[in-house]
């Protein structure tokens, strides 16, 4: 089984499938499992409490895989921002050669990474931001549709339109992100102009994902309608799984004059981490996308990637070719 694209060639991976950065989930265990399965695993830098801890996590990943893997560095507005430059330095000094960047104003980080021979995958949610990142020097654009978990931006453009719209203008290779989890999605992404797919939520429902089994089963049981869009009124929209906490956040945030401080006690990262680690589904926010509706099992990463690629091959070779005379 093989689907060769510019992404597999550029990143040195077997399958055109990338595991995107995920807070509390993107550990060495997750990244190594995906890389060993033939995709690109990614460690989430800010899951580690300090840059030194990130260095140790990168070393731990290297002990578990000899395949390529990357690190995610997401830059978000914050009252007390983490020491991004120190995390960046830790990534560079560890010799990591692939970095996924996300968030606003990545120029400083892209410049430094590029000066040290790092390949940059930049995730963004609009064509204009993709073109901006391309001008900054991003080597790959991960274009993230409205279906995604996390922050889909404020334009509400789904992947079926956003991916080809970006492909019409972006010159560097693209990953399709948001709403991908099976072979049908991979085949569709390639047809729409991408060179591979980036998955987050789907990787949470795998054997190796470092989260509680109750959360994995929660994702399996959920349908495509079981998400909430939070922070809409604060122009920082986020898509999360529907639970009592996210229902409450939506209710509070929809009230006239609502401010972020009104929901802040319910949305802390610590509470979300508690939900993932303990299996208490109402302890905090659980970030998940609409792809929940297409998750029906909890396979190993190796079985998942092999199945996605095999199914995509069959769709491309047999189903689609049958329509052409």
Token representation of residue 242: 């529907």
Mean of the pLDDT values across residues 140-162? 97
Q: Work out the burial of residue 217: count CB atoms within 10 Å of its CB; fewer than 13 is exposed, 13-18 middle, 19 or more buried.
A: middle
Closest to 21 measured CA to CA, from 11, 34, 8, 10: 34
Per-residue pLDDT reduced to its tens digit, 40-97: 999 999 999 999 999 999 999 999 999 999 999 999 877 789 999 999 999 999 999 9
Average pLDDT, the chain: 96
Residue 160 and residue 322: Cα distance in Å, rounded?
A: 23
Q: What is the pLDDT of residue 77?
A: 73
Q: What is the pLDDT of residue 168?
A: 98
Give the whole-number percent of the chain exceeding pLDDT 90: 95
Q: Work out the burial of residue 252: count CB atoms within 10 Å of its CB; fewer than 13 is exposed, 13-18 middle, 19 or more buried.
A: middle
User: pLDDT band at 105, cuts 50/70/90?
Assistant: confident
Closest to 223 measured CA to CA, from 286, 292, 287: 292
Q: Is 117 helix (H, G, I), strand (E, B) or coil?
A: coil
CA distances from 96 to 92, 189, 311 (A): 6, 27, 32
Q: What is the pLDDT of residue 104?
A: 83
Helix runs in 116-256, H state only: 127-136, 159-167, 183-192, 201-204, 213-221, 244-253
Domains of the chain, CATH where assigned: 6-208+300-323 (3.20.20.70), 213-290 (no CATH)
Q: Virtual CA dihedral for 205, 207, 212, 218, nearest 10 degrees?
A: 30
Residue 106 has pLDDT above 70, yes or no: yes
Mean of the pLDDT values across residues 184-200? 98
Task: With beta carbons less than 8 A apart as the criterion, state whether 6 and 187 touch.
Answer: no
Residue 1 has pLDDT above 70, yes or no: no
Q: What is the pLDDT of residue 273?
A: 97
Residue 300 has pLDDT above 90, yes or no: yes
Residue 245 has pLDDT above 80, yes or no: yes
Beta carbons within 8 Å of 25's beta carbon, 6+ residues apart: 44, 47, 200, 203, 204, 209, 210, 211, 276
- How far, rounded to the nearest angstrom, does the alpha carbon of residue 27 sit from its chain's CA centroid? 13
Q: Is 240 helix (H, G, I), strand (E, B) or coil?
A: strand
Q: What is the pLDDT of residue 2?
A: 87
Give the whole-number percent of the chain exceeding pLDDT 70: 100
**DSSP assigned state of 321:** G
Other Cβ atoms less than 10 A from the Cβ of 79: the count is: 4
Residue 159 has pLDDT above 80, yes or no: yes
Closest to 148 measured CA to CA, from 202, 98, 184: 202
Longest dimension (CA), the chain: 61
Per-residue pLDDT reduced to its tens digit, 250-278: 999 999 999 999 999 999 999 999 999 99
Nearest-10 crossing angle of helices 51-64, 84-93? 30
Other Cβ atoms less than 10 A from the Cβ of 67: the count is: 18
Q: Rg (Cα) of the chain, in Å, rounded?
A: 19
**DSSP assigned state of 227:** E
Mean of the pLDDT values across residues 114-134? 97
Closest to 18 measured CA to CA, from 56, 65, 71, 90: 71
Mean of the pLDDT values across residues 214-237? 97
- pTM of the predicted model as reported, rounded to 2 decimal places: 0.96
């Amino acid at each position: 089984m093989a689907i060769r694209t510019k992404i597999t060639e550029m990143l040195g991976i077997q399958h055109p499938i990338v595991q995107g950065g995920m807070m509390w989930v993107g550990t060495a265990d997750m990244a190594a499992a995906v890389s060993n399965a033939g995709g690109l695993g990614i460690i989430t830098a800010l899951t580690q409490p300090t840059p030194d801890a990130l260095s140790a996590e990168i070393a731990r990943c290297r002990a578990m895989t000899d395949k390529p893997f990357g690190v995610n560095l997401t830059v978000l507005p914050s009252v007390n921002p983490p020491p991004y430059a120190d995390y960046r330095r830790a990534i560079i000094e560890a010799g990591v050669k692939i970095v996924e960047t996300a968030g606003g104003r990545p120029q400083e980080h892209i410049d430094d990474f590029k000066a040290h021979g790092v390949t940059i995958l930049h995730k963004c949610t609009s064509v204009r931001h993709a073109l901006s990142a391309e001008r900054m020097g991003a080597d790959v654009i991960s274009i993230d549709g409205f279906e995604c978990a996390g922050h889909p931006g404020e334009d509400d453009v789904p992947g079926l339109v956003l991916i080809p719209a970006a492909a019409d203008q972006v010159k560097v290779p693209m990953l399709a992100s948001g709403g991908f989890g099976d072979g049908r999605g991979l085949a569709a992404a390639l047809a729409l102009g991408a060179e591979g797919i980036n998955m987050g939520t789907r990787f949470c429902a795998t054997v190796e994902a470092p989260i509680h089994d109750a959360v994995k089963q929660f994702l399996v049981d959920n349908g495509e309608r079981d998400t909430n869009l939070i922070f809409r009124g604060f122009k920082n929209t986020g898509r999360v799984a529907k639970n009592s906490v996210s229902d409450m956040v939506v209710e509070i945030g929809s009230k006239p004059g609502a401010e972020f401080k009104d929901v802040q006690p319910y949305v802390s990262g610590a509470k979300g981490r508690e939900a993932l680690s303990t299996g208490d589904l109402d302890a905090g926010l659980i970030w998940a996308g609409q792809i929940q509706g297409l998750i029906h099992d909890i396979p190993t990463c190796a079985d998942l990637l092999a199945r996605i690629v095999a199914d995509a091959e069959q769709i491309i070779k047999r189903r689609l070719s049958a329509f052409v005379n």
